[in-house]
Amino acid sequence: MSRLDATSLLLSPSPTPPHKPTTPRRLICVVSSTLAALGASLSLLLLVVHSAPAPNYGSLFLSLASNDTAALHLRALTLHPHVAGTRANSLTAAYVCDAFSSLSIPAHITPYSVLLSYPVERSLSLAVPGRATTTSFALSQETYPNDPYASATAEVMPTFYAYAASGSVSAEAVYANYGREEDFAYLASRGVDVAGKVAVARYGRIHCEDIVHNARVAGAAAAVVYTDPLQYGGAPGEAWFPDSRWLPPTGVQVGSLFRGVGDPTTPMWASSEGCERVSVEEAMDTDDMPGIPALPVSARDAAEIHAALGGDAAPADWQGREGSPVYRLGPGPAILNLTYTGNDTMATIENVFAVIEGAEEPDRYVILGNHRDAWTFGASDPNSGTAAMIELAQRLSVLQKQGWRPRRTIIFCSWDAEEYGLTGSTEWVEENREMLSSRAVAYLNVDVSVVGPVQDPDNSSQTVYDSWVKSNISPLIGRLGHGGSDFSAFVQHVGIPSTSMGPGYPIYHSLYDDFVWMEKFGDPGFSRHAAAASIWGMMALRLADEEILPFNYMSYPVELEAYTKVVENEVRGTAISCSPLHNAIRTLKTAATKVNGERKELQRQLSSNQLKKDSMKIRSLNDRLMQAERAFTNREGLFKQEWFKHLVYGPSEQNDWESASYPGVENAIASARKENTTESWKFVQHEIHRVARAITQASVVLAGSLT
């Protein structure tokens, strides 16, 4: 399929029912013709992104930046909404595959059959005793005058939550702030009964799957989650999109309520052809599913609900922005009548891969990934990243024509069904776990590449690194502990060093995440897309081309000491000792210092031609640098979160989008506080020892000698 053919298919209307499995296991694409500040995270290692790799090719790569290329691809990818499992998203897979193939980069599509979820029926109405009329909410997001995508909005799925339980509830409403555990605990302390009620909560601190889970645990019969203007509407009186970047009052943030990762019918293993599966009913009956009906609603609809709530006034930090009416706790007298019917069904998703084979070390993989599926048009999330990835690949294809071949293999990945639960990336990593464990150098993820100003495209006198430092953003990139994007399977399940770029923005997961918003507010001129591709590509070039991997473990002990202090504060007053952690961290510091000195010596020998580039000494050092992260994993996984194997970096059990300091230890402490038994606190000590053993193992790997 030519690129023109793929584009023309994207222009045609596409149905929303799931795309059923009809494709062969592996499809080869044949071409018939032809950063607000940039947010970034690093799982473990400091990559000095401001210094170039091989000077000639690195400089050439940067000189090839094209704003027009990124804009062209973003426009084509966002002509229609493309939810995972639909024909529209299958067409985006063909487009991306063709784009790689047209650059003479071999590409293919790998499909998986997975459990996805779509809306069938939804309704929400508000009744108040004594009122003669009932308010029925439209549950729709309004278009705006002269919206160029107005006709395509008819293809957008109705606002919904994937995997929400089907059912009807009529009950009093209770306001639960951000829907955190502590918010429901506060309601209980005030004598506000949530049992059997409809919990009304706002986005802002945790994601929707955790909000609804907490509501169910508190006894709520259903949940309604809205986008509060305090977080998403700008300052009082400020305009909204299309006149500014802020979310319109009818904007709704949709999402998935699945708290797990990957295909729900293949927990802990890959969704391969002919594989073992649990039934759809069994998958929907686990604790990772919401278990109650739930709906996302707009700020406008939520304002009517708030106006009808009675009871005591909520605390000051539960209130809305200045000028908003007083938020009250309830329960009632507002009664919400909520109905949701979903279609939880098996559908086909499609990952796209393109491979530039390495010349000297083809069995070492530098992997770049971005997901492609979107809840609506996906101009920011995720296709700003997709456009940047294709633009990056185009530059590398020019380098190839100039004689460049990477030392190590570069793999481009366009993931599907990320929005449902990191599904496409998780299934692929689970299916290729052993190969990746032995061969993957690093994984470089971009979810959202651009949603606002990135300083260097606007100030050519300084680098992105310089702007980070001057704007007080640490040049030591933060750690990847949360579970919010496709890096999760790589670093948290296998232990592959990973990075991720992806800041937040006000129109997230709404109808308004379209090309117009990006062109007017996210990246006018598309220079920031080019800058994101430059940063992403330069990291890839360094990892793929440098003889010695540019990993620096010296900052790791500093990080771990900081995490240990957090744990010490949490267990103060108990018999728990963090000495095992301190001892293990000292050992790691010694090993990191040793390997850092060894690397410098080998670099000196390389530069003076005392050592050949293919020396086994270099290979041995690189293997240790690459494998050390794996040592932080444990096959048993985290306490209460067994799929997550990394004992240092992982998501909080209470908030999937928040990193925990030693997540297994954090989970054990949370349980001990609730149970407050000798055994529960003894288990906290056990978890501390487990982490200490993992840190010690990483030290052994770095040192490269048996004990």
Question: Torsions phi, psi of 697, nearest 5?
Answer: -60, -40
Q: Do 375 and 509 contact (CB within 8 A), yes or no? A: yes
Per-residue pLDDT tens digits for 538-583:
999 999 999 999 998 998 999 999 999 999 999 999 999 999 999 9
Instruction: Kindly state whether residues 288 and 382 are assigned to the same domain.
Output: no
* Cis ω for the linkage preceding 242 (within 30 of 0): yes
Give the up-direction half-sphere exposure of residue 620: CA atoms within 13 A in the CB hemisphere. Answer: 9
Task: Give Cβ neighbours of residue 501 (< 8 Å, ≥ 6 apart).
Answer: 35, 38, 39, 40, 41, 385, 445, 446, 447, 448, 449, 532, 535, 536
What is the average pLDDT across 388-414? 97
427 sits in which H/E element: helix 423-431
Tokens describing residue 488? 């999760």
Catalytic residue, candidates 172, 350, 361, 418: 418
Confidence at 14, pLDDT banded by 50, 70, 90: very low
Is a pLDDT exceeding 50 seen at residue 123? Answer: yes
Give the domain CATH number at 424.
Answer: 3.40.630.10
Q: What is the pLDDT of residue 131?
A: 93
Q: Do 502 and 485 contact (CB within 8 A), yes or no? A: yes
Burial class, 444, CB count within 10 angstroms (exposed 0-12 / middle 13-18 / buried 19+)? buried
Per-residue pLDDT tens digits for 666-687:
999 999 999 999 999 999 999 9
What is the average pLDDT across 277-295? 97
User: Residue 573 gets which letter from DSSP?
Assistant: T
Q: Which of 514, 545, 576 is the last residue of a domain?
A: 545
d(CA 549, CA 701): 15
Instruction: Kindly state whether residues 242 and 364 are assigned to the same domain.
Output: no
Is a pLDDT exceeding 90 seen at residue 707? Answer: no
Distances (CA, A) of 88 to 19, 155, 377: 9, 10, 11
Mean pLDDT of the chain: 88
Is a pLDDT exceeding 70 seen at residue 24? Answer: no
Instruction: Kindly state whether residues 599 and 491 are assigned to the same domain.
Output: no
622 within some domain: yes
Is a pLDDT exceeding 50 seen at residue 47? Answer: no
Q: What is the pLDDT of residue 447?
A: 83
What is the average pLDDT across 326-346? 97
Confidence at 218, pLDDT banded by 50, 70, 90: very high
Task: Give Cβ neighbours of residue 63 (< 8 Å, ≥ 6 apart).
Answer: none
377 within some domain: yes
Confidence at 454, pLDDT banded by 50, 70, 90: low
Instruction: Kindly state whether residues 314 and 423 are assigned to the same domain.
Output: no
Tokens describing residue 543? 């990892």
Is 570 annotated in the active site? Answer: no
d(CA 561, CA 694): 15
For residue 432, the enclosing domain spans 57-115+345-545
Q: What is the pLDDT of residue 19?
A: 45
Q: Which of 545, 576, 604 is the last residue of a domain?
A: 545
Per-residue pLDDT tens digits for 607-622:
999 988 888 999 999 9
Tokens describing residue 284? 């929907």
Q: What is the pLDDT of residue 479?
A: 54
391 within some domain: yes
Instruction: Kindly state whether residues 234 and 253 are assigned to the same domain.
Output: yes
Listing DSSP states for 254-297 in one string gives -EE---S-S-TTSTTS---TT-----HHHHHTSTTS--S-EEEE
17 within some domain: no
Tell me the longest C-alpha to C-alpha distance in the chain: 90
Instruction: Kindly state whether residues 100 and 158 are assigned to the same domain.
Output: no
User: Residue 324 gets which letter from DSSP?
Assistant: P
Q: What is the pLDDT of residue 16?
A: 38
Question: Torsions phi, psi of 465, nearest 5?
Answer: -60, -45
1 within some domain: no
Instruction: Kindly state whether residues 233 and 213 are assigned to the same domain.
Output: yes
Give the domain CATH number at 169.
Answer: 3.50.30.30
Q: Do 192 and 311 contact (CB within 8 A), yes or no? A: yes
Instruction: Kindly state whether residues 378 and 258 are assigned to the same domain.
Output: no
Q: Do 294 and 222 contact (CB within 8 A), yes or no? A: yes
* Closest residue by Cα to residue 28 from 103, 125, 106: 106
Which amino acid is it at 389? M
Is a pLDDT exceeding 70 seen at residue 228? Answer: yes
Q: What is the pLDDT of residue 614?
A: 81
User: Residue 134 gets which letter from DSSP?
Assistant: -
Confidence at 653, pLDDT banded by 50, 70, 90: confident
CB atoms within 10 A of CB 92: 29
Instruction: Kindly state whether residues 531 and 585 are assigned to the same domain.
Output: no
The residue with greater pLDDT, 325 or 658, is: 325
Is a pLDDT exceeding 60 seen at residue 320? Answer: yes
Q: Which of 306, 326, 343 is the last residue of a domain?
A: 343
Per-residue pLDDT tens digits for 79-113:
999 999 999 999 999 999 999 999 999 999 999 99
User: Residue 664 gets which letter from DSSP?
Assistant: H
Task: Give Cβ neighbours of residue 320 (< 8 Å, ≥ 6 apart).
Answer: 228, 229, 230, 306, 327
Is a pLDDT exceeding 80 seen at residue 464? Answer: no
- How many domains, in total, are found in the chain? 3
Instruction: Kindly state whether residues 338 and 365 are assigned to the same domain.
Output: no
d(CA 86, CA 347): 8
Confidence at 500, pLDDT banded by 50, 70, 90: confident
The residue with greater pLDDT, 489 or 39, is: 489
Tokens describing residue 594? 């040793």
18 within some domain: no
